[in-house]
Amino acid sequence: MPQCEQCRNQPDDLYPNPWGALICSTCFQARYIHCVDCGAAGYRGEYDGLRCTSCYHRLAYWHPREFPFATTTKKTTTARCFGIELETSSCPEHISLRGKTYFGVKEDGSIDGLEFYSPILRGDKGLAEVRKFCRLAKKNDFKVNEDCGFHLHIDMRDTTEKQRRSIAYAYRLTFDMWQQLVAEERWENCFCQEPEYTAEDIKRVDDFNHFARNQDRYEFVNIRALHTHSTYELRGYQGTLDSREICNWIKAHLRFVEAVKDKTLEELDGMFKRRPKKAIRKILGAALSNYYSKQWRKNSDLIFA
């Protein structure tokens, strides 16, 4: 009578494992699963524990879907486009999100989970899509840890070299403020460092586009992204799936960019070197200023006191 090739018992029924060896149902259930998509046998616990290798890779990663642009900008106060990347430490059953969100998903070697990244978003509907994704992530019990980050891309496609210089200059002048608004563990993180260049370096350089191209991408404000994504990338914020945190960070930087892009470097010196509190409050508005003042008090008494 045929016997199980693993336990050597002689049951009534035998099943082929992934390599064709005949084993009993007890041994099969202990070690293997039938893929819920194609029915093929595979190791239990491999990938999500439900699918074979081929089906998992076919279904687990996808590109963002194109997002329909909206004209309403009551909350963003600008039609400037943006995009975000949300890193996770755990994202169980993430395949169930396929088709339910415009976000895409990919691997990232620096984290334990996966990275979810938006299409190009704009306006209030863009913020609504962020909130929708966060609801789905919460429902599926997605998690983040201190290795995770939240990256924000601000569109620079419609800006001139002069405007891009002003924006970068303003960010360098206000670096301390932005850094103190993120979690302390991010301050020394090698993936979002303080830029090595100074505001004076930006002021002196003749060819700003060439200057931006030669900067380190792993900086709090990644201006090198101008040449890879046509954006400035804000890399400093800690990993989060809190839609309020994410949307407020987006709104703050959209407003900041719009407020500084047409200023001369001398005007920016006047705004941020002499009266930074007043300038920043005016840019962010009362609601965002009040929101960030609570966070700021944990780290500094220099601004929003």
Q: Read off the pLDDT of residues 263-275 as tens digits, 9 standing for 90 and up.
A: 999 999 999 988 7
Are 107 and 184 in the same domain?
yes
Q: Looking at residue 47, what is its pLDDT?
A: 55
Alpha-carbon span 198 to 98, nearest angstrom: 44
Q: Which residues make beta-bridge pairs with 105? A: 62, 116
How many domains is the chain built from?
2
Contact of 118 with 127, CB cutoff 8 Å:
no
Q: Give yes or no for residue 297 having a pLDDT over 90.
A: no
Q: How much is the mean pLDDT over the chain?
A: 89
Give the confidence band of 44 by pLDDT, cuts at 50, 70, 90. low
Are 32 and 128 in the same domain?
no
Give the confidence band of 12 by pLDDT, cuts at 50, 70, 90. confident
Are 43 and 131 in the same domain?
no
Are 132 and 243 in the same domain?
yes
Are 96 and 48 in the same domain?
no
158-181 tens-digit pLDDT? 999 999 999 999 999 999 889 989
Contact of 116 with 103, CB cutoff 8 Å:
yes
Q: Looking at residue 70, what is its pLDDT?
A: 74
Are 119 and 221 in the same domain?
yes
Residue 154 counted as domain residue: yes
Q: Looking at residue 263, what is its pLDDT?
A: 97
Q: Looking at residue 7, what is its pLDDT?
A: 82
Non-local (6+) Cβ contacts of 294 within 8 A are: none
Give the confidence band of 46 by pLDDT, cuts at 50, 70, 90. low
Are 87 and 43 in the same domain?
no
Read off the pLDDT of each residue in 203-222 and give the average, rounded to a whole number: 96
Higher-pLDDT residue of 111, 70: 111
Are 148 and 200 in the same domain?
yes
Name the token pair of 254: 């959209």
Are 103 and 225 in the same domain?
yes
Residue 10 counted as domain residue: no
CA distance readout (Å), 82 to 41, 52, 141, 151, 230: 43, 36, 26, 11, 11
Read off the pLDDT of each residue in 223-252 and give the average, rounded to a whole number: 97
Are 44 and 180 in the same domain?
no
Are 105 and 143 in the same domain?
yes
Q: How many CA atoms lie within 13 A of 117 on its CB side?
A: 16
Residue 8 counted as domain residue: no
Q: Looking at residue 303, what is its pLDDT?
A: 41
Q: What angle do CA 76, 79, 82 make, to 5 degrees?
A: 75
Are 135 and 200 in the same domain?
yes
Calculate the CA 165 to chain-centre distance: 25
Q: Looking at residue 262, what is its pLDDT?
A: 97
Residue 72 counted as domain residue: no
Give the confidence band of 304 by pLDDT, cuts at 50, 70, 90. very low
Contact of 123 with 69, CB cutoff 8 Å:
yes
Q: Give yes or no for residue 125 having a pLDDT over 70.
A: yes
The full length of the chain comes to 305
Q: Looking at residue 302, what is its pLDDT?
A: 44
Angle between helices 276-296 and 243-260 (to 10 degrees): 170
Residue 92 counted as domain residue: yes
Q: Looking at residue 300, what is its pLDDT?
A: 62
Tell me the chain's radius of gyration from C-alpha atoms: 25
Give the confidence band of 305 by pLDDT, cuts at 50, 70, 90. very low
Full domain range(s) for residue 216: 82-296
Residue 131 counted as domain residue: yes
Read off the pLDDT of each residue in 134-158 and give the average, rounded to a whole number: 97
